[in-house]
Amino acid sequence: MRIYLSRETIAKKTGILLPPDKARHVVSVMRCKKDDEITVFDGWGRSYLAKVAGIQKKSVSIDIVQELMGDTESSARLVLCQGILRGQKMDFVIQKTTELGIKEVIPLISGRCQVKETRKTPRWRKIAEEAAEQCGRSVVPRIREPQTFGDFFETFVSAESPQGIIFWEKGGLSADEALEKIGPSKAPLFLCIGPEGGFMQSEVEMAESRAFIRATLGSLILRAETASIVAVALVQFLAEKNKTSGKV
């Protein structure tokens, strides 16, 4: 069992009281008892062995025993720039791309977004945290506040060298050709996926003017949430393959 706790909380070492929702999960779902061992992680790459120190009626306390070695994280620093989707589709994308190893999510408000403002950022952060716990990651992806498409390029992107891919249903390079063109880099790699309806041509042209590579996921028209998962999985696989073969 894995539980996310902040670095400040873990630093207390002993007598750490779990938040109510995690305490309920430990007792009611996992059926843990005093002296049982669990794993906690700080969301920044460090994991620890902990022991259940005490179980009260409405609280659970743990002690940190030791730091655990080993790293389940991919070396690829992928950032998903996702046109905000309606309803639970955005929840689904954040959950699944967290499982696939995304390092950061930037919700984008682009021209065809049907959602122009939202207060769901705290909810999305909680979803990322729970997905990281479930899949065995030691890092919780950072979920940024929503950005307009133009503000994203002004705030996060340098036009000096290719550092991102914008996926467009009207065609472009294949994912492996795009990665080949970008070349080896330790910088974050931005993956832009449009909302329902995709990106407008003017947005694709803006991205290309800032050294983003236009790419395609094939001839089929995918739903936005499907495209996000396929893009992250494909680029993650290719990045790891290139690293193994010495290309990155």
CATH of residue 12's domain is: 2.40.240.20
Residue 230 falls inside a structural domain? yes
18/109 same-domain check: no
Residue 191 falls inside a structural domain? yes
146/234 same-domain check: yes
Dihedral angle at the C-alpha atoms of 139, 144, 149, 153, nearest 10 degrees? Answer: -70
Check residue 159 and give its pLDDT.
58
Q: Do 208 and 178 meet the contact criterion of CB atoms below 8 Å apart?
A: no
> Number of folded domains in the chain?
2
Structural domain containing residue 225: 78-245
177/240 same-domain check: yes
108/138 same-domain check: yes
Is the model's pLDDT at 5 over the cut of 60?
Answer: yes
9/117 same-domain check: no
Relative orientation angle of helices 89-99 and 121-135, to the nearest 10 degrees:
30
Over the stretch 117-142, which tens digit does the pLDDT of each residue have?
A: 899 999 999 999 999 999 989 999 99
Over the stretch 222-247, which tens digit does the pLDDT of each residue have?
A: 999 999 999 999 999 998 887 666 55
The residue out of 36, 68, 100 marking a domain boundary is 68
How far from chain centre, in Å, is Cα 109?
A: 18
Mean pLDDT in residue range 142-157: 92
Mean pLDDT in residue range 12-31: 91
The single residue listed with the structure tokens 């990651």 is 137
Check residue 226 and give its pLDDT.
96
Residue 73 falls inside a structural domain? no
59/87 same-domain check: no
In this structure, what token pair is assigned to residue 67? 């730091």
100/204 same-domain check: yes
Rounded Cα distance, 231 and 99, in Å: 13
97/183 same-domain check: yes
pTM of the model: 0.88
Report helix, strand or coil for 229: helix
64/91 same-domain check: no
Is the model's pLDDT at 146 over the cut of 80?
Answer: yes
Residue 96 falls inside a structural domain? yes
96/131 same-domain check: yes
Residue 151 falls inside a structural domain? yes
93/181 same-domain check: yes
Check residue 245 and give its pLDDT.
62
Q: What is the DSSP string of 114-142?
A: S----S-HHHHHHHHHHHHHHHT-SBPPE
CATH of residue 205's domain is: 3.40.1280.10
